[in-house]
Structure 1
Amino acid sequence: MTLSADPIAPNPVAADTVLQQLQWRYATKKFDPSKTIPEPTWQVLEQSLVLAPSSFGLQPWKFLVVRNPELRRQIVDLSWGQTQVVDASHLVVFAAKVKTDAADVDHYIARMADVQQTSVENLQGFANVVKGFLDKPPYPLDLHEWAKRQTYIALGQFMTAAALLGVDTCPMEGFAPAKVDELLGLAGGEYASVVMCPAGYRAEDDKSAARPKVRYPLEEVISYID
């Protein structure tokens, strides 16, 4: 499955379906290790990561899908024994760019010129704006922390897409990032792990699935400013 360069007409999902699936999803505590995400479904989830939005469109991230069983067993030890890491069908490690700089902008501009069938020169004004932001941010900004925040946008899109497809997920910050980076060959490189997300199908005896979702009422979390 590849991205289309042609305009895509909207095909909205039914409102009731969206709400139903968001109510259905939860941070799955126990996955069924016998169930695997079908390849066509996984390809859609891959594209949900590729299509994730980011500031300026820079995509300062890398998504590592850990398929090696032994590595996943070792990650359990680095995540306080959370077995979702090995029991889920897939494990995605979300990593953020350690330092985003002018070279990253040039790389993105080259890709933009190719996809939009224009010249790099025509995009130079936009490139200069982005480089200026990275070089002298208009407010105090740690670029690695900024990249981490972008990565959480991708995580949210991945989890929402999974819920719409009937796939369970469990976002996990409970692990030792530096040690996971060493294990996956990220240490000292361009990217550092931020969050992990196992994806698969809940076990029938996961008691967490039946617990009512606890959320504050709408009026407590949403304010309208007219």
Structure 2
Amino acid sequence: MQLIDKLKWRYATKKFDASKKVSQQNINLIKEAVQLSASSYGLQPFKVLEITNPTLREELKPLSWDQTQITDASHLFVFCNHIEVSDKDVDDLIQLKSDINQVAIDKISGYGDFVKTKLKEKTAVEMFHWTAKQTYIALSSAINACAELKIDCSPMEGFEPDAYNKKLGLKEKGLNACVLFAVGYRHDADMAQNSKKVRKPMDTIFEEI
């Protein structure tokens, strides 16, 4: 299985070569992997911001523990989770299902009602954490896509979410900065690439019951 070999190759890159850029074709493939990622109910309660403005990236660096990946990576993405999911979000999903599968709305409206009912059972805090979990599933698809393409990446929780939210005006959009994702190519001076991958043994992770 080629993916296993690629996952053994990848690591969380600490230092990127700022002179090397990922092609737009490969960036589009990574984005498509995120788009196709698994998501509960198919709702995809997240949005991904691609930070292309160099000045903005410089301004975000001190809000990210001054980590160089923010400015040196070829591309920087901010994975944002929705703060809440509304009935309209569910209605939009049902309409999309209707359009793509060419099925009448009334044939699938019951599913939409079911989803609305289940979501209303969540408190605001539960909703926030649920959408964050969905966002991380999408992030994992991006990580795997990068591994498949042999493109380096670094998922990053080392930043100040509230400061990002304020800087990017996310709360007003109903979004929260959940996790960062830097994409590019490793620098020769990145010592982390020389370390062996450390993972728990299979029999520690998996248990038959």
Q: TM-score range by the shorter chain?
A: over 0.9
- Across the aligned residues of Structure 1 and Structure 2, the Cα RMSD in angstroms comes to 1.4
Match of 2:89 among 94, 100, 104: 104
Q: CA deviation at 1:190?
A: 1.2
Q: Please state if 1:173 is matched with 2:178.
A: no
Q: Please state if 1:207 is matched with 2:191.
A: yes
Q: CA deviation at 1:167?
A: 0.7
Farther-moved stretch of structure 1 (214-223 vs 140-149): 140-149
Is 1:36–1:89's contact at 8 Å kept on the other side of the alignment? yes
Is 2:20–2:184's contact at 8 Å kept on the other side of the alignment? yes
Match of 1:156 among 131, 140, 153: 140
Bigger helix fraction: 2
Q: Please state if 1:146 is matched with 2:130.
A: yes
Identity of aligned residues (%): 37
Residues 140 and 41 of structure 1: CA distance in aligned 2, closer, same or farther (over 3 Å): closer
Aligned length: 209
Between the aligned partners of 2:190 and 2:124, the Cα distance in structure 1 is 44
Between the aligned partners of 2:48 and 2:120, the Cα distance in structure 1 is 26
Residues 182 and 150 of structure 1: CA distance in aligned 2, closer, same or farther (over 3 Å): same
Deviations 1:96-135 (A, max 9, x none): 0101121110011111111111121111111011011011
**Which residue number in structure 1 is paired with residue 39 of structure 2?**
54
Report the 3-state secondary structure (helix = DSSP H, G, I; strand = E; otherwise coil) of the residue aligned with 2:182: strand
**Which residue number in structure 1 is paired with residue 208 of structure 2?**
224
Report the 3-state secondary structure (helix = DSSP H, G, I; strand = E; otherwise coil) of the residue aligned with 2:142: helix
Runs of 4+ displaced beyond 2 Å: none
Between the aligned partners of 2:105 and 2:163, the Cα distance in structure 1 is 40
Is 2:84–2:124's contact at 8 Å kept on the other side of the alignment? no
Aligned ranges 1:63-74 → 2 under 5 Å:
63-74=48-59
Between the aligned partners of 1:131 and 1:189, the Cα distance in structure 2 is 21
Is 1:100–1:144's contact at 8 Å kept on the other side of the alignment? no
Report the 3-state secondary structure (helix = DSSP H, G, I; strand = E; otherwise coil) of the residue aligned with 1:20: helix
Deviations 1:121-167 (A, max 9, x none): 11111101101101125x99711110000000000010011011011
**Which residue number in structure 1 is paired with residue 69 of structure 2?**
84
Mark the runs of 5 or more structure 2 residues left unpaired by the alignment: none
TM-score (norm 2): 0.96
**Which residue number in structure 1 is paired with residue 108 of structure 2?**
123
Between the aligned partners of 1:117 and 1:204, the Cα distance in structure 2 is 52
Between the aligned partners of 2:127 and 2:86, the Cα distance in structure 1 is 9
Name the aligned partner's letter for residue 140 of structure 2.
Answer: G
Match of 2:167 among 174, 177, 183: 183
Q: CA deviation at 1:188?
A: 2.8
Report the 3-state secondary structure (helix = DSSP H, G, I; strand = E; otherwise coil) of the residue aligned with 1:29: coil
Report the 3-state secondary structure (helix = DSSP H, G, I; strand = E; otherwise coil) of the residue aligned with 1:188: helix
**Which residue number in structure 2 is paired with residue 3 of structure 1?**
none
